[in-house]
Amino acid sequence: MSEIINGNPVFSLKEVAESIKRTLQTRYTSAFWVRAEMNRLNFYRLSGHCYPDLVQKSEGSVIAQMRAVMWSSDYQRINRNFVQTTGEPLREGITMLFQASIQFDANHGLSLQIHDIDPVYALGELEREKLETIQKLKVERLFGLNAQKSLPLLVKRLAIVSVSTSKGLADFEQVLRESKSGYQVDLMLFPSLLQGEKAALQIERQLECIASVAHHFDAVAIIRGGGSDVGLTAFNDFRLASAICRFPLPVLTGIGHATNLTVVEMVAHTHAITPTKLAEIILQRFEIVDVGLDRAAKILTKSLQQIRLEQHRLETVSLNMKGLTLSEIMLNRNRIMDKMLEIRFISRQHMHHENNRLGQMQTNLESKSGYQIWQTASLLSQKENDFFKQIPAFLVQKFVDIDHVERLIELSRPEKILKRGFSIVYHNGRALTDVDQLHQGDTLDIRLAEGRVVASATEIYETNQE
C-alpha cells in the first residue's frame, strides 16, 4: 500500500516491481515465438544454466537488446536437438527463432525465458551465412586463387594444422607411415582448435606462422577427423577462407564429415572427404612418379640391350670394312698420284701460256696509256688558258650588275618613296593594306616624308564601291 508524503501517494520500489510483474503476467499469459540474434551465450558450466544476451540489428547498429535465460534442463534438450538438426551446437552470432515467455524479477529485472528453439530456421541462417561468405569471396576475386598455386608432384615437406589428439590426424599419419613403398613425408604440426568460437581465429593465426616460414614447406594440410558433423562453422568463416585463398602455399584439407562441402574446402587447392583419403592422394602422387621411374628404367634397360647388339654388329661390319677399305685406299692412292702428275704438267703449260699473254697485254697497255696521258694533259692546258682569259670580262660584268641592284635598292627605300608624294598609313602599329582591317572611328597614323598626321576613319569604302 502506498503512503502519503507531502500530499502525494508514494510507492516502495518492491511495490512498483510487483505491480509491473502483475501487469506483465496479466498481459502475457502464454509463451510466444521471437526472432533475435544470440549476441552472447553466457553458459555457466557449474550450474548448467545459460543466460544469453539477445539483440536485433539494423544496418550494423543494435536497435533492441534483452537478457534471456535457459535453465539447465532446457539448455541440454535444446542444444541436443539443435546439434542433431544443424550439425552445430548453439553458439554466439546465430539468428534464431525461439519460443519464450516474459519473466520479471524484482532483483534481476525483465528477461525472456527460452523454452524451445527452432533448429530448422537456424539451419537456414547458417546456410545463408555460408552463401554470403562464398559471394563475398567471389566479389573480391579471391575464390579459386589457392587452386592456382602449383602443387609439387612429390609433397615431401608438409605443415599440418590440427589438434594433436585428433583421431583424424592419427589416421593420416598412420597411412603415410605404413606405406608399402616406404615413401617418406616430413610432417610438422601447428596445433589449433578445429571447432568452437575460437577455432577459425586459431587456424588463421597458425597459417600466419606457417606463411612466415613458407620456404620450408611444399604445402599445408588442415586435418580434422572423427567423422562428426558438429562444429563445422569455423570452416565457413570469411576471414579464414580469405586467408586460405591468399595463402602462398597450396592448402590441402581432410575434414571428415558427411554434409556438403564447407567454404574452406571449396577454396582449398585440394580437398578430401577424410584425412585418410588425403594421405592416399599424397601417396598416390609418389606412386605415379614411382611407376614412371620403373617404366623409364625398363625402357633404359631395353635400350641398353639394343645398344649392345648394335655395337656388336657395328664391330663386325667395321672389321669387314677395314679390309675392303685398305685395298680401296691403295688402289685410289695410285690413281690420285697419276692424276696429280697429269695436273701438274697441264698447270705448268697453262701458266706459261698465260704469262706470255699477260706480257703482250702489258706492252700494249703501256703504249696506249702514254699517248692518252699526253693528249689529256694538252687538253687541260688549253682549258686553263681559256679560263684565265675569261675571268676579267666576267668580273667586270658582275660589278655592273651589282651597281644596278644597289641603285634599285636605293630608289626603293621608304624615304625616297615618301619624298615622291606617297604616304604610309599605320593602324595599331602596323602598316594598313586592307580596309577590312578598319572600323569607323579607328585612329590612323599617316607617315609623310616630312612629319606625320593622326586621323580618324569616318567613312570606309572597299575597292569595288569606289
Q: What is the CATH number for 162?
A: 3.40.50.2300
Decide which of 287, 307, 322 is a domain's last residue. 287
> What is the chain's mean pLDDT, rounded?
84
Contact present, 57 and 63 (Cβ < 8 Å): yes
**146 and 248 both lie in a single domain:** yes
Contact present, 258 and 225 (Cβ < 8 Å): no
Domain annotation covers residue 349: no
**109 and 161 both lie in a single domain:** no
pLDDT of residue 464: 59
Domain annotation covers residue 283: yes
Tens-place pLDDT, residues 374-412: 777 788 878 777 777 777 777 778 888 888 888 877 777
Decide which of 266, 287, 308 is a domain's last residue. 287
Residue 283 falls in which region: left (phi positive, over 0), alpha (psi -120 to 50) or beta? alpha
Domain annotation covers residue 459: yes
**36 and 77 both lie in a single domain:** yes
**Could you list the residue range(s) of the whole structural domain that residue 93 is in?**
31-135
Question: Rounded to an integer, what distance in angstroms lies between the CA atom of residue 189 and that of residue 163?
Answer: 8
Angle between helices 72-86 and 119-139 (to 10 degrees): 50
Contact present, 94 and 37 (Cβ < 8 Å): yes
Q: Which of 233-242, 304-313, 329-338 has the highest mean pLDDT?
A: 233-242
pLDDT of residue 1: 64
Residues 6+ apart with CB under 8 A from 200: 233, 234, 235, 237, 239, 240
**125 and 164 both lie in a single domain:** no
Decide which of 287, 307, 339 is a domain's last residue. 287
pLDDT band at 448 (very low <50, low <70, confident <90, very high): confident
pLDDT of residue 2: 66
Domain annotation covers residue 206: yes
Residues 6+ apart with CB under 8 A from 232: 87, 88, 195, 255, 257, 259, 262
Residue 268 falls in which region: left (phi positive, over 0), alpha (psi -120 to 50) or beta? beta
Mean pLDDT, residues 39-68:
88
Domain annotation covers residue 351: no
Which CATH number belongs to the domain containing residue 106 in this structure?
A: 2.40.50.140
Mean pLDDT, residues 7-12:
82
DSSP 187: E
User: Total domain count for the chain?
Assistant: 3
**103 and 64 both lie in a single domain:** yes
**243 and 150 both lie in a single domain:** yes
E strand or H helix at 160: strand 157-162
Question: Rounded to an integer, what distance in angstroms lies between the CA atom of residue 106 and that of residue 115?
Answer: 22
Domain annotation covers residue 331: no
**273 and 147 both lie in a single domain:** yes
pLDDT exceeds 90 at position 85: no
Q: How far is CA 146 from CA 94, 212, 215, 244, 285, in A?
A: 29, 17, 16, 7, 19
Domain annotation covers residue 273: yes
pLDDT exceeds 60 at position 80: yes
pLDDT band at 241 (very low <50, low <70, confident <90, very high): very high
Lowest model confidence (mean pLDDT) among 128-132, 305-309, 457-461? 457-461
Tens-place pLDDT, residues 277-317: 999 999 888 888 877 777 887 888 888 888 888 888 888 88
**38 and 168 both lie in a single domain:** no
Dihedral of the CA atoms 200, 205, 210, 214 (nearest 10)? 100
**38 and 122 both lie in a single domain:** yes
Domain annotation covers residue 160: yes
pLDDT exceeds 70 at position 258: no
Contact present, 45 and 134 (Cβ < 8 Å): no
**159 and 115 both lie in a single domain:** no
Question: Rounded to an integer, what distance in angstroms lies between the CA atom of residue 343 and that of residue 335?
Answer: 12
**180 and 108 both lie in a single domain:** no
pLDDT of residue 227: 47
pLDDT band at 228 (very low <50, low <70, confident <90, very high): very low
Percent of the chain beyond pLDDT 70? 97
**150 and 248 both lie in a single domain:** yes
